[in-house]
Structure 1
């Protein structure tokens, strides 16, 4: 292991990198209003732009993890940040719908390597009892960014415009790449471990991971919890405006409380997970999923918007716990040599959920003439599926892989 000072510096750099990556990702949701007007795009075309990122991001999860295991976390991190920065900057120079879709897809490809490689780096540099905490710090940057994006995006779009904004965000990413090159240095024994993994790692490790019950359960759990997360994130604003009668300003203020809950939930989860007895994490996670399913039902039947948001806030706390618990299981149960590939496999489920669930909810709502009943029941079912996946986790294969380290 490396010194605490070096670990904290690496964690700070991962926090900053994940923050700017999330800002790039969220900024498009606001910039697309101006982009649609400038390029004269239809609503369908706008949807294609927003979905193209998730397509590239999901496709890169497994290759990104495999590359991190194969060639080292530091190299893949730098390439990932540099690649997404280049395509973020190029977004400011698009000239057509086709160019925008292609560039956003490639941006997703670039960012797709970050989480698997950063997870591997955390597993290499942090002791087992601090890995969930470290992951919570890195992931919390996404929650913090989600709070500041609306105000900062509005300022940037009205002062310098969307094209210059994307160029600036790309330049910031290049600076972060340089910082990674200068300050993320692995000690000799970890560099030797990565060289060994390149030359001597069994070629069948990927196939073996794909066959493990542990990875199958984690893939399903990732898909289920992110289906709930993205389902709520993408459709709650529309639901609250169209069904509950909120105006946009009231909506914005109402959603700040759940946003803060996400940050608090991630920090609390990191603290709690590192202190759970080994083997108990899946039980606690399953209980959290049961609570989510009950609260989703109560949300849907809440008599007022205030009570609805109160239930939503508690739901976000428990969702945040499960979202952190799943990568923590990989970090704690599997050897560093396969963490990148393992995280890529599992996280592919989460990103597929981000691509599919919003489309599914839209289809359901349209099919039932604007009713959200079936959509809420679908999310409740996903919470139950996540619970079952966690309760039936099989660690035996993970222990077998641990023996290969």
Structure 2
């Protein structure tokens, strides 16, 4: 097993990489207010831009996971961070809606390999009883980013503008690429050549993964919870400005509280999941999904912005728990030799949701003349679907994969 010092360094770098990737994904939800004005876009076109990243990201999930299992997580991580950094910088150089869509799509392709490769890296370097905690640390960077992005976005957009902001973010990403190249290294017994040989000895395992009821349920659950997460993340800034009447600075301050809730929720989830009795995690996840649906209904019926933010904060607490629970199930229930592929398959559902949901909300809002009520009902339905998927999780075939490994 990897030494404690080395695995903590790897986890710190995974945290940094996930943070800068998430910053870009959250930042564009605020930058799109300026981009829409500069490029003269309607709601449907805005939704297409917000969704284009997720099209590439979803498309790369399974190939990214397979590549991590086949050639090693380190190589995929380095290539992934390099590619997304280049296309983040190029986002600041676009000149039309079409060029923006292409660049964001390629950005998604670049980032697509990071999540399955980082999950595999965690499964290789951390013992089973600490993997949910390690995953919570890495994913908590998204919570920290969601906390600082609203205020930092308002400052960046009103001072240096969205184009220069993306150029700077791309430069930071390239710096992290160099750190990965230098410091993210596995010990001799986990060399990439050995990992390749290990995978070649398990021919047919990919088909077994696809056929497991466990993976089908996780795919649906991933889709549902990320439809809620990215539906809110991509459109709430526009909703709060256009419907609730907030200005950009007020919006930034208002969103710090839900961002803090998401951060706390992720850390708390990591602590709880590692201590739940075997098989009970799906019950707790289903209860969380029910709570999400109830809070979403209360959100769009909230009489004031303050009450709206309170409900949003509670929603994000439960969303963060489910978002961590799903990869933790894979890390704990499936062998590390197929973690990358399994995570890629499941996370494809989440990123397809990230592509479809913002686009769908854009068309819904336009069709209902600016009303978001139907969009909120769509998210509530996804909470119900997530509940059913978790309650019907079948662990038996997951154990067969463990036995096959």
Q: Do both share a fold (TM > 0.5)?
A: yes
Q: 1:5 to 1:300 in 2, by over 3 A?
A: same
**Alignment of structure 1 residues 5-404 onto 2, 5 Å:** 5-33=5-33, 35=35, 40-43=39-42, 45-191=45-191, 193-202=194-203, 204-404=204-404
Distance 1:162 1:380 in 2: 33
Distance 1:2 1:354 in 2: 34
Distance 1:249 1:162 in 2: 15
Distance 1:167 1:247 in 2: 25
Question: CA shift at 1:46, angstroms?
Answer: 4.5
Distance 2:282 2:346 in 1: 16
Q: Secondary structure at the match of 2:404?
A: coil
Tell me the matched-pair count.
403
Say if 1:136 and 1:270, in contact at 8 Å, map to a contact too.
yes
Distance 1:307 1:48 in 2: 30
Question: CA shift at 1:56, angstroms?
Answer: 0.7
Q: Secondary structure at the match of 1:277?
A: coil
Say if 1:286 and 1:387, in contact at 8 Å, map to a contact too.
yes
Question: CA shift at 1:211, angstroms?
Answer: 1.4
Say if 1:71 and 1:198, in contact at 8 Å, map to a contact too.
no
Distance 1:220 1:313 in 2: 24
Offset from partner CA, 1:205-241 (integer Å, 9 cap, x none): 2222111100100010011111122222233344445
Q: 1:33 to 1:305 in 2, by over 3 A?
A: closer
- Calculate the TM-score normalised by the size of structure 1: 0.91
Say if 2:208 and 2:401, in contact at 8 Å, map to a contact too.
no
Question: CA shift at 1:279, angstroms?
Answer: 1.1
Offset from partner CA, 1:62-85 (integer Å, 9 cap, x none): 111111111111110011011112
- Calculate the TM-score normalised by the size of structure 2: 0.91
Offset from partner CA, 1:139-198 (integer Å, 9 cap, x none): 111121122223334444455454444333223222211211211111122226413234
Offset from partner CA, 1:9-35 (integer Å, 9 cap, x none): 000000001111122333334444555
Q: Secondary structure at the match of 1:403?
A: helix
Say if 2:265 and 2:317, in contact at 8 Å, map to a contact too.
yes
Q: 1:284 to 1:173 in 2, by over 3 A?
A: same
Q: 1:156 to 1:233 in 2, by over 3 A?
A: closer
Distance 1:136 1:69 in 2: 22
Q: Secondary structure at the match of 2:394?
A: coil
Runs of 4+ in 1 over 6 A off after TM superposition: none
